Amino acid sequence: MKVITLAISAIALSAVSSLAMAQERAAGGSADLQMTWTSLKLMADQANDNAKIAGIAANDARSKADKVIACNAKQKLYAPEHPTKDADGCIAVFEPKDLRIKTATFSPGGSTCGSGAHTCAVDSTTTAHLCKQFGYAYATGVSNGKYSSPKNNYIGRWTGSRWQVFNAREDNRPMNSLTCQAITWE
């Protein structure tokens, strides 16, 4: 009788245990499902908020583009922070009649081209540097000569960071004159 009671108790215990596991799985599944729906709702709300922000940014960009177009129609530039802006945030563009071309011709030589140099080289790096040194934007012309005794003469070349002086035998094209220009307006 003890064996039968023990067997029935084991069967009952196993049934109760299985039932408890089934209930736990159902409850766990339901809680997981609830968490998933909550997470999805939060993600959907965040996506809606992001879409609203993007819509506001797009409207702002469209509004600025409309203002730029309106200023351009008046042949002006859109500059809402500029002190001379008009009521629409536009500023006038300078008139071509206000342009000035400033030109000068130089005969650089001596220490202008580096210590010990008699004149400057005619390469583009050197001519651009000299024009900037003289207060101009760019070189528009250069003329050079030729030494009859290059071994006795030295030429300075701008390397981009310093003057390099070399014997004229290396490149016998000493600079005679340099023309520089700058465009200005009032």
* 154-165 as b/e: b if 16+ CB within 10 A: bbbbbeeeebee
Domain count of the chain? 2
Q: Residue for token digits 């030109």?
A: 103
Predicted local distance difference test score (pLDDT) of residue 6: 42
Residues 74 and 112 in one domain: no
**Whole-angstrom Cα distance, residue 51 to residue 133?**
55
Q: Do the beta carbons of residue 139 and residue 124 sit within 8 Å?
A: yes
Query: 103 lies in a domain?
Result: yes
Query: 161 lies in a domain?
Result: yes
Domain hosting residue 69, numbered range: 64-93
* Distant-in-sequence, close-in-space partners of 69: CB < 8 Å, separation ≥ 6: none
Residues 81 and 113 in one domain: no
Predicted local distance difference test score (pLDDT) of residue 53: 79
Residues 87 and 102 in one domain: no
What's the residue count for the chain? Answer: 186
Residues 180 and 102 in one domain: yes
Per-residue model confidence as pLDDT tens for the chain (186 residues): 444 444 444 444 454 444 444 444 444 556 565 667 777 777 777 877 777 777 777 777 788 889 889 988 988 888 998 898 899 999 888 666 667 889 999 998 877 898 999 999 999 999 999 999 999 999 999 999 999 999 999 999 999 999 999 999 999 999 999 999 998 876
Q: Is 166 buried (19+), middle (13-18) or exposed (0-12) by CB count in 10 A?
A: middle
Query: 140 lies in a domain?
Result: yes
**Whole-angstrom Cα distance, residue 145 to residue 170?**
14
Residues 100 and 175 in one domain: yes
